Structure 1
Amino acid sequence: MRRWMMLALGTAAQTVACVFVYGLPYASDTLRSDNGLTLSQVGVLIACPTAGLVLTLVAWGALADRYGERAVITAGLAGCAVTLALSARVHQLTSLGLLFMLAGGASASVYAASGRLVVGWFPARERGLAMGIRQTSTPLGMGVAALIVPTLTEHGGLGATVLFCAALCAGLAVLIGLLAADPPRPGRGAADGPGTDANPYRRPTLWRVHAASALLCVPQFTAAAFALVLLVDVRGWSTVHAGQLIALAQVLGAASRIAAGRWSDRVGSRLRPMRQLSVAITLVMAATAVGVWWPSPCTALFLFLACGITASSNGLAFTATAELAGHTWSGRAMGVQNTGQNLAASLTPVAVGALIGSAGYAWGFVAAGLIGAVACCVIPIAGETRDSGPASPKGSMRAESSPASRP
């Protein structure tokens, strides 16, 4: 039961971090109307927290390897809470963007350490499900933000939103500090099997997983960043009603991650399901573009599906990364994995926002769907079968490396 408690704490910690990092798009309509910002300027502000993540993820991962997951997560959430509290009274765009970058950098501790915490407590036969549950933190955080942020910004402005996020981060920092426990660490080479000290980046498999996962972030964050304003601009919905639909879509996103993780446990592969899901993502993004060209009630349905299914493959990529890297490299590999994903997440609102501003919403979703199709071709199915499928002892994190698998 202890491993499930660690999973719950890790998931909760990343959920509250995601409320801030990925919740800013749900304040985009208020930022445009109250602050006179263009869509491109809003996109830049939205990208600041993820830019902070990109700059600090590997460093937080190194700290987690050295000092343990609990200390790193606690310190990072506390720093995020303090920085957000300071930003509540700031209105100048450059200063606000800088503080958001610092807060995003502090929250990176959760992204770097919570996945390692989960992987360390679960055996391979349950790891896909566990990481799928942990990865629900992103759609759950987005769902909470979609449900609460539009109302908070409408009645209290951006300051009320960031204070709410600061309170969440502070509360979870206390819980992690009091209740979390680092998994026991096996000696170098003792638990992962022979050859796991070798650099996994000498082969292309892990690089391709990172690349495919980063590419799949483009459709995910296109839907996340522009779903609300699309419903407002194209379908004439109110901000609150659009936020409610997107919150419901994030529930679908969370369920899809859990189902994908369980699916991967049953079929003994992380990457084959990931490729099949990338095909589905491409199709649903194309359908959303069609719904923009010919608006109808189906437009909201396609957008709902896009917000949900684009989140489905994320947990598979993280689990594959941990298993391909092995215990001695998992911290660094997850840092690289997170860096690639969040770099893509930080660039997507800016690039797609500029495309939407010049060509319209439909072409933005078409471009995101095409990038999803490229990801499908990059996913290294043969590399997983040869090197490190979930059941393979070589190059993967074996069940014996987890305290949950020991008698």
Structure 2
Amino acid sequence: MTISSIGTARRWSMLVIALTSTTCANVFINGAAFLIPTLHADRGLDLAKAGLLSSMPSFGLVITLIAWGYLVDRFGERIVLTVGSALTAAAAFAAASADSLIAVGAFLLLGGMAAASSNSASGRLVVGWFPPEQRGLVMGIRQTATPLGVGLGALVIPRLAESHGVTVALLFPAAVCALAAVMCALGVIDPPRPPRHEAPKEHLANPYRGSSLLWRIHAVSVLLVVPQAVLWTFMLVWLMTDRGWTAASAGLLVTITQVLGAAGRIAAGRWSDVTGSRLKPIRAIAAAATTAMALLALTDWLHSPISVALIVIASVITVSDNGLAFTAIAEIAGPFWSGRALGTQNTSQHLASAIASPLFGAVISVLGFPAAFAVSAVLPLAALPLVPDDPASVK
């Protein structure tokens, strides 16, 4: 089977499935952050401890991302997406049924380990079914799964938690992940890939040996993901505790912000297709992220209402680069290494996010939100000289 052997509608349906399954996984992965206000108010947890609990899915992700990538390289996308979504749903149901916060945290960790399956598999599904001149756009669309998952979680989970408690709130990601498992089992077709014995030697070679290109992209992505993680984790609680917003209004703004962020990823992907470059736009986005986070820190320190608009702008900018890096890595690594390379990419990013949540929670508790925003502005600045030039050719 080749890319041209299935109809256009069927090929685009692969994108829809990849987007939906990864969105559902991100409702689980990032939804725990929207339990922070309830954990803080009802359970008496400080922001550092609540942030640690909310980061358990991200810690789970970093344990298994490369392993899931290896399974994708060996067994294909369909089985990985189906099994991973089903296991994520089971862990979410178990977390909702647990009595203690320690047990909840353990099941969130296990769910994150299962949810890691969607990252490499859905990325490979998109890259495998679309030609290079469309990959930036379609990967940008697929990458909207993260902000859409965050936005959907922000719209639903805080209200459920505030009205019915943590247990009921966790049933929502459980239900959507169960539906995703059924959809993947019925709809996914593994993209074409030549047999290993027929593949060119350069496609089978380890892309990490003899080149710093992938390592530099990973490093840049780590530096750029921290401001994104800080905003995703603490925007809701900042609006509620620092600006006096209700859970409903704060959740709605977070949802709107994530939809705008999704549009930003699509636009960045299309930008890369038009210019023929995946990495030059990343450099521009890093510069913009530094500026936006610095202005947010300053205006929040001055208690200016402009800071609300700036946190929206900063949230959109800081998510726009992810699809570009993901596409570049998949193209550079090739069909026999892209699962592991994408797993490595996500491992480094999610580990950074998991560490950032409790660390910046502690910074906020001691020094306040402006200090956390200011520190976040330094990291994309440090990423600028690390962004490599685009390779002359990709696999």
* Alignment TM-score, normalising by the size of structure 2: 0.95
Q: 2:42 is paired with a residue of what secondary structure?
A: helix
1:33 corresponds to = 41
1:70 corresponds to = 78
Alignment of 1:362 with 2:370, yes or no, is yes
2:154 corresponds to = 146
1:195 corresponds to = 202
Residue by residue over 1:145-175, the C-alpha shift from the partner in whole angstroms, topping out at 9 and shown as x without a partner, is: 1111111111111111211111100011001
Which range is displaced more, 216-225 or 178-187?
178-187
**What value does the CA root-mean-square deviation take over the aligned residues?**
1.3
1:206 corresponds to = 214
Question: Is the CA contact (8 Å cut-off) linking 1:235 and 1:295 kept in structure 2?
Answer: no
Unaligned runs of 5+ in 2: 1-7
Distance in 2, Cα, partners of 1:306 & 1:145: 20
Pick from 16, 22, 27 the counterpart of residue 24 of structure 2: 16
Letter in 2 for 1:320: A
Residue by residue over 1:307-328, the C-alpha shift from the partner in whole angstroms, topping out at 9 and shown as x without a partner, is: 2211100000101111111222
CA 277–167 in structure 1, closer or farther in 2 if over 3 Å, else same: same
Distance in 1, Cα, partners of 2:309 & 2:26: 24
* Alignment TM-score, normalising by the size of structure 1: 0.92
Question: Is the CA contact (8 Å cut-off) linking 2:51 and 2:358 kept in structure 1?
Answer: yes
Pick from 185, 188, 192 the counterpart of residue 184 of structure 1: 192
Distance in 2, Cα, partners of 1:296 & 1:264: 35
| TM-fit CA distance, 1:91 | 3.5
| TM-fit CA distance, 1:112 | 2.2
| TM-fit CA distance, 1:287 | 1.2
Pick from 86, 91, 101 the counterpart of residue 94 of structure 2: 86
Question: Is the CA contact (8 Å cut-off) linking 1:21 and 1:49 kept in structure 2?
Answer: yes
Runs of 4+, deviation exceeding 6 Å: none
2:112 corresponds to = 104
How many correspondences in the alignment? 386
Question: Is the CA contact (8 Å cut-off) linking 2:67 and 2:340 kept in structure 1?
Answer: no
| TM-fit CA distance, 1:62 | 1.1
Q: 1:289 is paired with a residue of what secondary structure?
A: helix
| TM-fit CA distance, 1:339 | 0.6
Distance in 2, Cα, partners of 1:272 & 1:190: 34
Letter in 1 for 2:207: P
Letter in 1 for 2:295: A
Identity, % of aligned positions? 47
Residue by residue over 1:233-281, the C-alpha shift from the partner in whole angstroms, topping out at 9 and shown as x without a partner, is: 2211112111111110001100000000000011111000011001111
Letter in 1 for 2:296: T
Q: How does 1:7-406 map to 2 (within 5 A)?
A: 7-188=15-196, 195-202=202-209, 203-381=211-389, 384=390, 388-389=391-392, 392=393, 396-397=394-395
Letter in 2 for 1:183: P
| TM-fit CA distance, 1:190 | 5.1
Question: Is the CA contact (8 Å cut-off) linking 1:80 and 1:169 kept in structure 2?
Answer: yes
Distance in 1, Cα, partners of 2:80 & 2:130: 20
